[in-house]
Amino acid sequence: MADTEITNVTEYEAIARAKLPKMVFDYYASGAEDQWTLRENRYAFSRILFRPRILIDVSKIDMTTTVLGFKISMPIMIAPTAMQKMAHPEGEYATARAASAAGTIMTLSSWATSSVEEVASTGPGIRFFQLYVYKDRHVVAQLVRRAERAGFKAIALTVDTPRLGRREADIKNRFTLPPFLTLKNFEGLDLGKMDKADDSGLASYVAGQIDRSLSWKDVKWLQTITKLPILVKGVLTGEDARIAVDVGAAGIIVSNHGARQLDYVPATIMALEEVVKATQGRIPVFLDGGVRRGTDVFKALALGASGIFVSKS
């Protein structure tokens, strides 16, 4: 495997399967329940075809774009992925350095195995912070303040996880964070470790800590504790897109959580147009999930996205 020349993103999966412990690979690779949406996130892109125009001068191409006022090298950013040190000892440090070198934005997961301060210490870069809302709001406020102090530029509020999706591979594997790692942002709050459970340790952790009462009023609350722009991550309908605009969200990420939450929701690329139409250009709309090639990025942009986020899904 070591000598394999990688020519596209999809080829990483087979290499990861060979190199990673089964519990870790399955955590990164699997979706919820029947995994219909996981497959559909990919297949939906393949049903969208181009109508190419010809004899256009393409000798000078500019892929730079602006996201929330920040200039980046391309409309491709890094989505939050939890617990990256399970895959490599450098984990989120390496991702942060790579994003900075590529001139684009990294989103750090709340459940990272490196803290906001540690990621900031890797050097300059435009970084967003993905936020899960815990039952204890002091924990949330403290985390947001730390992200601000560490120079993060926006909050990506995940709104599709009042409870964890039923990820059957994690249940079978009794998934838990390896003992040598912690959820670094919560280490000092006694929330950094994950207990072993009779099903998925992460599902038990979420059930114990994450606020199931989260609603639109909490987006308003978040605006009272931070001046950072808030992206609402996990919107799939025009109705919710309109509410997001009304409550003052700075942008929307059309996301089905990498098909890891509710199965049988549409592929994000299929939900995109409805969301874009509903926002009427008032705020930018981004997309994650199922993106594997530049052609996928182009399809999302053509359907109205201002940019896309890539991660393990």
Q: Which residues are annotated as a binding site?
A: 27, 80-82, 109, 130, 132, 158, 167, 233, 255, 257, 260, 288-292
Q: Verify whether residue 257 is a known catalytic residue.
A: yes
Q: Going by C-beta distance under 8 Å and a sequence separation of 6 or more, which residues neighbour residue 125?
A: 96, 99, 100, 105, 106
HSE-up (13 A, CA, CB side) for residue 282: 15
The Cα–Cα gap between 81 and 105 comes to 13
Q: Going by C-beta distance under 8 Å and a sequence separation of 6 or more, which residues neighbour residue 301?
A: 75, 307, 308
Phi first, then psi, for residue 58 (nearest 5°) are -115, 30
Sign of CA pseudo-dihedral 98, 100, 103, 107: positive
- Per the residue annotation, which of 257, 267, 286, 299 is the catalytic one? 257
Which residues sit in the known binding site for glyoxylate? 27, 132, 167, 257, 260
User: Residue 67 in 3-state DSSP?
Assistant: strand
Which residues sit in the known binding site for FMN? 80-82, 109, 130, 158, 233, 255, 288-292
Helix, strand, coil distribution of the chain in percent, nearest 5 = 40, 15, 45
Q: Which residues pair with 129 in a beta bridge?
A: 108, 155
What's the gap between Cα 29 and its chain centre?
14
For 172-181, b/e burial (b = at least 16 CB within 10 A) is ebebbbeeeb
User: Is residue 103 within 8 Å of residue 70, measured between CB atoms?
Assistant: no
CA distances from residue 286 to 74, 133, 270 in whole angstroms, order as listed: 13, 21, 13
Which of 225, 271, 281, 273 lies closest to 251, judged by CA? 281
State the Cα angle at 189 between 160 and 27, rounded to 5°: 45
DSSP annotation of 134: B
Active site residues: 257
